[in-house]
Amino acid sequence: MVFKLNSQLLSRIASGNGHGEDSPYFDGWKAYETDPHHPTENPNGVIQMGLAENQLCFDLIQDWLKKNPKASICTPEGLNEFREIAIFQDYHGLPEFRNAVANFMGKVRGNRVTYDPDRIVMSGGATGAHETIAFCLADPGEAFLVPTPYYPGFDRDLRWRTGVKLIPVDSDSSNNFKVTIEALENAYEMAQLDNIKVKGLLITNPSNPLGTILDRETLRSIVRFINEKNIHLVCDEIYAATVFSQPDFISVAEILQEDIECNLDLVHVVYSLSKDMGFPGLRVGIIYSYNDAVVSCARKMSSFGLVSTQTQYLVASMLSDNEFVEKFITESKRRLAARYRVFTHGLDQAGIKCLKTSNAGLFLWMDLSGLLKEQTVEAEMELWRVIIHEVKLNVSPGCSFHCLKPGWFRVCFANMDDQTMHVALSRIKTFVNKEADTKKKPKKSLRWQGSLKLLNPPRIYDDFINSPHSPMPHSPLVRARN
């Protein structure tokens, strides 16, 4: 006899859809997983362009590992340290790990700032770091302001288990999606009118999905804003080392060193090695807070998502090699810049424009509004379905990033080899040319009429809404954030 599970027997989290897999972001992943591209075994499969992963410098990592076998306790050379590392379980983390991470964070930021290892709190990727920060700073029903477009996973990371709300701060393509004080003030005032207590502002610098950085004056205005409102500032800086051209990245830590009035207890940084080093699978997330109470609480909460001591030991050894770190940072930027130039040139040949202010990240913010039948979210979704199922490219539609203007798509370019990139560009060119020819003929609707669902969330994100990640075991979706 088969019994049907009564959802009333489960918690709200277990029976709800808060983690979310019913969104365009996730549907794209599902299309890729069911028909993945392979150069010989499945050349007509879906190419994964929805994964913000840095795979351009793994040869440097592999060379270092070959030259430093003692860095791993699972090699004959490192076996002597196995026992001590295997039994270590202090949630403060290995001292050499915290020292190495603090040193690396400084190098990534041009050694213009230094970080205190005692303020380093480890977490299971940036996903865990963001949730921990949300738990520390806000109670259920309270809110964070988040400038749009923003990474879809924030809806899960900050909200799913915490009960915290996210309030979008709208930006406009007319000024390249810049964060303005006017927009921040408006979102803050609207929250107050709705009797929602705003506890903080979350910014992503460099931006995902825009690939842009915040300039010094914008950062200073943001710091003044949160200080005036007496709310927290959470700075996601996980793409700090991916800035591949001028202007240079400016960390909030640099602003705090300047002559500016700010209560340091309000400022917190989220970092990880997933993007800058290309290590999403190692689950190395970092919270760096200037608030002693937050450091203390976050460290206790980190017991629920520690970085394994084996990983700490390896990372500490690698990041303590200053010569290697300098070489890696420089070469990674060079390769990202080269890939960016080739990819944008290919798109330009197809008549596709991207956000020109981008100089960071592992992706492009691509403007396909000219291919829409009409300037609506529904038309964007219709175009996206065609790109997924006919062009066979998994790109992410702007609506999944809460972008107000239809037609923008995020396309990742650093998670594939050169051959796959050229195949992807060829498919894009063929598609655009075909659409151009179609427009010359009598009007005809786009062909795909599948059942993928449209994400159309409210402007205040609370309780349980869709999120981009799959709970399926062994899915590469777990790599998409960290």
Residue 151 annotated as catalytic: yes
Dihedral, 107, 113, 114, 120 alpha carbons, nearest 10: -90
- Sheet with 143-147, strands from edge to edge, namely 120-124, 284-289, 267-272, 232-236, 198-204, 143-147, 165-169
CA angle 153-205-245, nearest 5°?
Answer: 125
Cβ(432)–Cβ(119) below 8 Å: no
Question: Which of these is catalytic: 226, 238, 387, 428?
Answer: 238
Cα–Cα dist 186/205, whole Å: 21
Residue 478 C-beta-side C-alpha neighbours within 13 Å: 12
Strand ranges inside 178-239, DSSP E: 198-204, 232-236
- Sheet with 396-397, strands from edge to edge, namely 353-354, 363-367, 408-412, 396-397
- For 315-350, letters b (16+ CB in 10 Å) and e give bbbbbbbeebbeebbeebbebbeebbeebbebbeeb
Question: Which of these is catalytic: 30, 275, 392, 405?
Answer: 275
Question: Which of these is catalytic: 25, 32, 151, 340?
Answer: 151
C-beta neighbour count of 135 within 10 angstroms: 18
CA 434: distance to chain centroid?
Answer: 33
Dihedral, 179, 185, 187, 188 alpha carbons, nearest 10: 130
Question: Which of these is catalytic: 155, 236, 367, 462?
Answer: 236
Cβ(417)–Cβ(39) below 8 Å: no
Name the amino acid, one letter, at 111. Answer: N
Burial class of residue 466 in the structure, from the number of CB atoms within 10 Å of its CB (0-12 exposed, 13-18 middle, 19+ buried): buried
CA 247: distance to chain centroid?
Answer: 21
What own/partner pairs with CB < 8 Å and gap ≥ 24 does 78-86 have? Answer: 81/313, 85/309, 85/310, 85/313, 86/309, 86/310
What is the residue-wise DSSP string for 41-64?
TBTTSBEE-S-----TTHHHHHHH
Residue 238 annotated as catalytic: yes
Name the amino acid, one letter, at 92. Answer: H
Helices within 152-215 (DSSP H only): 154-157, 181-193
Residue 275 annotated as catalytic: yes
Catalytic positions, written as ranges? 151, 236, 238, 275
